[in-house]
Chains A and B, each alone.
Chain A
Amino acid sequence: MRLVIEGLTKNFDKKEVLRGINFSFEEGKIYGLLGRNGAGKTTFFNCVNKDMPVTGGTISFEEDGMKKELEPDDIGYVLSVPTVPEFLTGREFLKFFLEINKDRIENLKTIDEYFDSVSILEEDRDKLLKDYSHGMKNKLQMLVNIIANPKLLLLDEPLTTLDVVVAEEMKQILRDIKPGRITIFSTHIMDLAVDLCDEIVLLHHGELEVVDKENLDDKGFKERIIAALKEEQDA
């Protein structure tokens, strides 16, 4: 399975944010989408998730040479700002989610087991989500998206708000679940991308460009990325 993007453009009024993206994301890999603030990472995700209409181009799955539209079920999208229903407790939200999606979830576990898996403490499980911290909300949101087991997992700057320990846990989880799906992960923090991702993709000038990771030692690699990103400022 591949996610194929062809000629994707997106303008806001006359501002061109995405200018013809052609790219193919492969199953089983974690992609780090690296770009500076305002480069268009969130916009790119929103387009893929059909949250906003694209100006031009197509986005589709390709499986055994057959093109297929993206269905809502195929996509899990974790936004950079936490979005959880604040009037529910963590446990209630998870219960609701599991009940609605129980037919699609493989090897269903208990609610507490799920909480354990992302180490949300017992004492927090029955608190209203409006009293959760930013990081906790983020974790819960990731948890829900991971349980749903989507073919395509989009994560918009997910680990930047988590503390070191939790960030490590989440990284491990993402590595564990990467087989069988495409994971795209946006960040402006380079070390994170280098550390976690199989492929690094730069988003600049509204286009995607692969950075070859193989041939460079870590230091040269970072310099190469910084150089590429700096260009944008000068352009």
Chain B
Amino acid sequence: MLKTLKMMFALRKAYKSNSILYVLRQLPLIKKILPTALSQSKVLNVIVTIIFAIWEIGAIFIGKIIYYFGAIGYLRTLSDNLSNEVLFCQSLLLLTAIGLFMNVSFLDYRKDKVYAINIFKLNAKEYTIIDFGYSLVKIIVGTLPIAIFMGLAWGLPLWFLIAIPFCVAFGKFIYASYVLSTYERTGVVTYAGKSLLSWFGAIALGFAAFLMPVFEYGLPKEICMAGLLLLIPVGLICSVKVFTYKNYLKINKSMLSQMDIVMKKARKRQDNQVADSISADAIETSNKKGFEFFNELFVKRHKKLLWKPAINLTIVMLAMAVIANVLFAFLGGREICARIIDQMIPYFSFVVFTLNRGGAYTKALFLNCDHSMLTFSFYKKRNNVLKLFVIRLREIVKVNLLPAFAMGLLLAFLVYLPGDPEALKKSLLVLFVIMAESILFSVHYLVLYYLLQPYNVNTEVRSVPYMIAFGASYILIYILMFQRIPLETFGFSCLGFCAVYTVIASLLIYRFAPQTFKLKN
């Protein structure tokens, strides 16, 4: 037991220190201070351990603070009439329900786990349970103080607040036992938060949590509390399955083969998801020539990674538009809803940014394509780099435009609810702005990829300049959100900026590609 626990921490640390070291090495100051043999130095080991500890402990609390003060705190602002207690209990119930199937770190695929079980041959059952238990302990430790702090201020009874973290933690056993029993039946390992259905569920529940306070509708406090408390006994019953299940080794092996060739390639390609994303069927071909041919095959053989999520997202958005349509046919409150959505449009910049597939796209470009192609000299020539950049730009914009269009439609529809000409104009503008934003972010992702070469085959962290550039983009969007720029101006400036940005970026790429677009050692 203790040995496994120790091993788990050692592996987690080893796994993360790679990333920590990678970042530290890029900071000029630290590089100077530290002695040569970076990885062997004692000082460095201490620093890395401290950062790791801060990381592990910080992650426990930061997530919960955002969850309680950010999410529930935001829902509070939506309603004027609901009491604190009702709002707290109801939001907590709905959000916890989402977490029950979206966020369960049981048998989720993580490299340190794979190493532990498949390479270090640790006991699969013990390791899986300890790893799961650790995630539950983190939930309890992180939730307890924050729930108590916020709950007391909002007038909830202390005994209930103390029970909350246990409800949340025990509730996770339900999904865990579900994973085990579906595996027994079908031989397929399901991962929390991956299926389209679970996304639908999460979005529906999220909408409920959002719309109920908007319409001043509150569930009785007692029912919500009972619902949460019920998770403890149900979770306990389900935990029997988790503790008595025998085939953990087999299920871990299945995860491995599901993830395919992972271990064979782990040495070279740390990112298994991307490596495995190449579709096995070579039936798809292309009639194009040169770089167009090359690009088309890349896109076709990475459909799973590039287009599938985009299409899923589109389906979700369109379905939500239909649901909202039906709902509002029966419910009142069109004006309120339109007003709220209208006010929230700037916030959707973040959503568009987050949903952008640019990150996945550029990562796949690097790991499955450029990482090897950049060793060929013709590929590094300026004009070839530029040619391919332009093609890829078109492609990345296309992939992202589809879900952006669907999301724009959804929002446009919500804004159009009142149905007058003014609303129509506004809704068309919303559609336009969302699409313009999507194009801008796509361009941004690809340009940063070409100029900053963020990826590295050895760790998952990106280069520091890239992270800084990205952080800066986030801050910029954040600032822009509060400027309340008229939508027209905003949309057209987005497109205008896109055009200028693309031209400047193309020039920069042509000029600097030999220095920036290459493998970094």
Say whether, besides A73-B377, A77-B377, A148-B377, A83 and B372 are in contact (CB < 8 Å).
yes
Beta-carbon contact of A14 and B36 below 8 Å:
yes
Interface flag for B294 (CB, 8 Å): yes
Interface flag for B77 (CB, 8 Å): no
Q: How large is the interface on B (under 10, 10 to 19, 20 to 34, 35 or more residues)?
A: 20 to 34
Beta-carbon contact of B381 and A72 below 8 Å:
yes
The minimal Cβ–Cβ distance linking A44 to chain B, given in whole angstroms, is: 13
- Encoded as 1 (CB less than 8 Å from any A CB) or 0, chain B from 35 to 46 comes to 010100000000
Beta-carbon contact of A83 and B384 below 8 Å:
no
The minimal Cβ–Cβ distance linking B376 to chain A, given in whole angstroms, is: 7
Say whether, besides A87-B368, A99-B289, A100-B291, A148 and B378 are in contact (CB < 8 Å).
yes
Interface flag for B64 (CB, 8 Å): no
- Complex-state Cα separation, A74 to B381, whole angstroms: 11
The minimal Cβ–Cβ distance linking B7 to chain A, given in whole angstroms, is: 30
Beta-carbon contact of A72 and B297 below 8 Å:
no
Say whether, besides A99-B290, A150-B377, A85 and B369 are in contact (CB < 8 Å).
yes
Beta-carbon contact of B268 and A81 below 8 Å:
yes
Interface flag for A121 (CB, 8 Å): no
Beta-carbon contact of A46 and B521 below 8 Å:
yes
Beta-carbon contact of B282 and A83 below 8 Å:
no
Contact of B521 among A52, A81, A128 (CB under 8 A): A52
Interface flag for B74 (CB, 8 Å): no
- Complex-state Cα separation, A51 to B515, whole angstroms: 9
- Complex-state Cα separation, A73 to B521, whole angstroms: 21
Interface flag for A5 (CB, 8 Å): no
Interface flag for A116 (CB, 8 Å): no
Beta-carbon contact of B380 and A72 below 8 Å:
yes
Q: How large is the interface on A (under 10, 10 to 19, 20 to 34, 35 or more residues)?
A: 35 or more
Q: Which residue of A lies closest to B290 (CB)?
A: A99
Contact of A96 among B31, B278, B294, B372 (CB under 8 A): B294
The minimal Cβ–Cβ distance linking A155 to chain B, given in whole angstroms, is: 12
- Complex-state Cα separation, A214 to B282, whole angstroms: 53
Beta-carbon contact of A88 and B377 below 8 Å:
no
Beta-carbon contact of A87 and B278 below 8 Å:
yes
Set of chain A residues within 8 Å of B381, measured between Cβ atoms: 72-73
- Encoded as 1 (CB less than 8 Å from any B CB) or 0, chain A from 182 to 205 comes to 000000000000000000000000
- Complex-state Cα separation, A87 to B284, whole angstroms: 11
Interface flag for A168 (CB, 8 Å): no
The minimal Cβ–Cβ distance linking A208 to chain B, given in whole angstroms, is: 21
Q: Which residue of B lies closest to A102 (CB)?
A: B290
Among B31, B280, B301, the most chain A Cβ lie within 10 Å of the Cβ of: B301
- Complex-state Cα separation, A94 to B291, whole angstroms: 13
Interface flag for B353 (CB, 8 Å): no
Beta-carbon contact of A88 and B297 below 8 Å:
yes
Contact of A84 among B285, B372, B384, B514 (CB under 8 A): B372
Q: Which residue of B lies closest to A79 (CB)?
A: B375
Interface flag for A13 (CB, 8 Å): yes
Beta-carbon contact of B377 and A87 below 8 Å:
no
Q: Which residue of A lies closest to B369 (CB)?
A: A85
Set of chain B residues within 8 Å of A100, measured between Cβ atoms: 290-291, 378, 384
Set of chain A residues within 8 Å of B384, measured between Cβ atoms: 100
- Complex-state Cα separation, A95 to B292, whole angstroms: 12
- Encoded as 1 (CB less than 8 Å from any B CB) or 0, chain A from 105 to 117 comes to 0000000000000
Beta-carbon contact of B368 and A75 below 8 Å:
no
Beta-carbon contact of B372 and A85 below 8 Å:
yes
Say whether, besides A51-B518, A86-B372, A100-B291, A130 and B278 are in contact (CB < 8 Å).
yes
Interface flag for B462 (CB, 8 Å): no
Interface flag for A144 (CB, 8 Å): yes
- Encoded as 1 (CB less than 8 Å from any B CB) or 0, chain A from 53 to 80 comes to 0000000000000000000111111010
Set of chain A residues within 8 Å of B377, measured between Cβ atoms: 49, 72-77, 148, 150
Say whether, besides A13-B36, A72-B380, A148-B378, A87 and B372 are in contact (CB < 8 Å).
no
Interface residues of B (CB under 8 A from A): 31, 36, 38, 268, 275, 278, 280, 282, 285, 289-291, 293-294, 297-298, 301-302, 368-369, 371-373, 375-378, 380-381, 384, 514, 518-519, 521
Pick the 7 closest A-B CB pairs, nearest first.
Answer: A83-B372, A72-B377, A14-B36, A87-B301, A83-B375, A99-B290, A13-B36
7 A-B pairs with C-beta separation under 8 A: A51-B518, A73-B377, A83-B373, A86-B372, A87-B302, A97-B378, A145-B376
A14-B36, A83-B371 given; 18 more Cβ-contact pairs under 8 Å: A51-B518, A73-B381, A75-B377, A76-B377, A79-B375, A85-B372, A86-B372, A87-B301, A87-B302, A88-B294, A92-B293, A97-B376, A97-B378, A99-B289, A99-B293, A126-B282, A128-B278, A148-B377
Interface residues of A (CB under 8 A from B): 13-15, 46, 49-52, 72-77, 79, 81, 83-89, 92, 95-97, 99-101, 126-128, 130, 144-145, 148, 150
